[in-house]
Chains A and B, each alone.
Chain A
């Protein structure tokens, strides 16, 4: 399946992000390269500190790119841009945060929290119009208009996260960067928030960049998945492809960490621990290469041959199973 006929909404091109730490440069993201198509959910998966949030924040212009550029709807949005374009980017790209308790202003009412973006760009005709918009936003995430005068600390975690979603949705964005939106939530309400996000995706044709550390969640929400390790994207593929034919040892290790709700399987399961130092990294410098249409892997030519052989074996196995 090729992606050439789809419209690219955002592309990250050879982006390097470094932090200065007392004169020493720490490269948090190394040569990140991917496209996000309009209307899809693109997941970025990796362990803590792998740079996934950093990429998300670079898209929102909070972190600066050292090298490379980020292009949104054909226009460069990284580096210095005009004020007008900045306003445009803010309105079109919104963020949902990880910790709903920390990401709401505790000293402001829900009404202010949700209207903040409206106030900033004066996106309402009059006071009555603003109230209507806030009411609609609250209702669309399953909250009540009477919650307007309440403060964030009066809400449960799930309700707060929905306030955060309403705050982003009121700006009518095209792309939402969701930075681990459910990892701080109670297991019982995770599905509620994911369903809400899917509802908006269908209704408004939203595009998501879904940042997560947990592959099991991502499988249900993402169309395509990028696996990132130590600031380096090691594998990109469509969700089903990645789960069926994981190639990079780090992807395999991440997949093995997903718990299965079956004690028999869990008992026999062998955890694969990924250790870069034990790998054979000889040969020329690896790059991100396309092994199957839409399936990219970070490898050099020698590794590429190994992956190819492995992939063919896996494909044969699947065929034998009648898939």
Chain B
């Protein structure tokens, strides 16, 4: 046997070295995988989902209306202790505290979600353009200075006098100046990454500002926006509670956690459960919203996907 028979040339394929063996990466797939990796997060998410669903469905079944009190003339029905029929007992007009609390929770959640949504949409849209345009920045900074210095409580009171109480006036009150804070936050974030090299590269390829915002800037901001939302939703629940407590919120026609807490404060010593139950529900929802939002924004950061 000579050399030619013993040895043969092996093929050399240059493209083999370029192959990537790692499984395909998908952004949202990795976000969910990271999010559900933590058992505590899963537990809190389920709890939050249950609380929200229950708050949405229960008032429909009970049909609770704060202006209707069929048992108001029956002294034995007033201020009952918790029992099988009235799980949280009854209040000073003989209505079920259980029904009142869930109706209030529902309204508080609706108000905070709607306000967050409106403020985020306006704020992100304005902030993204604001951060890009140097000419707009000069004007918008002045707008920001004016809007952000309006005393919030004063504005709420004046608007309530003009518009009256109810859902719409409360949402208008909470949205008319708050979007500017979101916009300012987004503007700063956009400015940080606006001049990075990959945006310069896009500019060299002739990409328009609109495409730059949707393809280059906002995908980078998902994580910080999530963090912001996770802080905003509980803060609007608190704001609604606070305004209702001050008598500026949803008005007499609508149940609200804030109004309940303010009503029940006078029974804090005699019937403490009436005060603590709505406070506890409020805390439970705020905290679980905050935890879920925080974990979601962590999961949305691709650095945690490794």
Interface, chain A (partner B; CB < 8 A): 60, 62, 87, 90-91, 94-95, 97-99, 102-108, 112, 116-117, 119-121, 142-144, 146-147, 149-151, 153-155, 159, 164, 167, 171
Contact = CB atoms under 8 A, between A and B. Distances in A.
Contacts of B202: 105, 116
Given A97-B201, A107-B302, 14 more contacts: A62-B200, A62-B204, A94-B204, A102-B196, A105-B202, A106-B302, A112-B215, A120-B206, A120-B211, A142-B15, A144-B15, A144-B18, A151-B25, A154-B22
B206 A121 contact: yes
Interface in B5-19: 14-15, 18-19
Interface string B125-164: 0000000000000000000000000000000000000000
19 contacts: A95-B204, A99-B197, A102-B198, A104-B201, A105-B216, A106-B198, A107-B27, A107-B219, A108-B215, A116-B202, A116-B205, A119-B211, A120-B206, A147-B18, A155-B20, A159-B18, A164-B201, A167-B201, A171-B205
The range of chain B's interface size is 20 to 34
A143 B18 contact: yes
B253 interface: no
A107 B196 CA distance: 14
Nearest to B22: A154
A181 B18 CA distance: 20
B198 A105 contact: yes
A103 B198 contact: yes
Contact of A117 (B22, B196, B205): B205
Contacts of B302: 106-107, 153
A121 B15 CA distance: 31
A105 B215 contact: yes
A103 B205 CA distance: 12
Interface of B: 14-15, 18-20, 22, 24-25, 27, 196-198, 200-208, 211, 215-216, 219-220, 302
A149 B24 contact: yes
Contacts of A112: 215
A12 B17 CA distance: 42
A144 B19 contact: yes
B282 to A, nearest CB: 37
Contacts of A99: 197
A95 B25 contact: no
Contact of A120 (B18, B22, B207, B220): B207
A142 B205 contact: no
B222 to A, nearest CB: 8
A173 B127 CA distance: 35
Contacts of B204: 60, 62, 90, 94-95
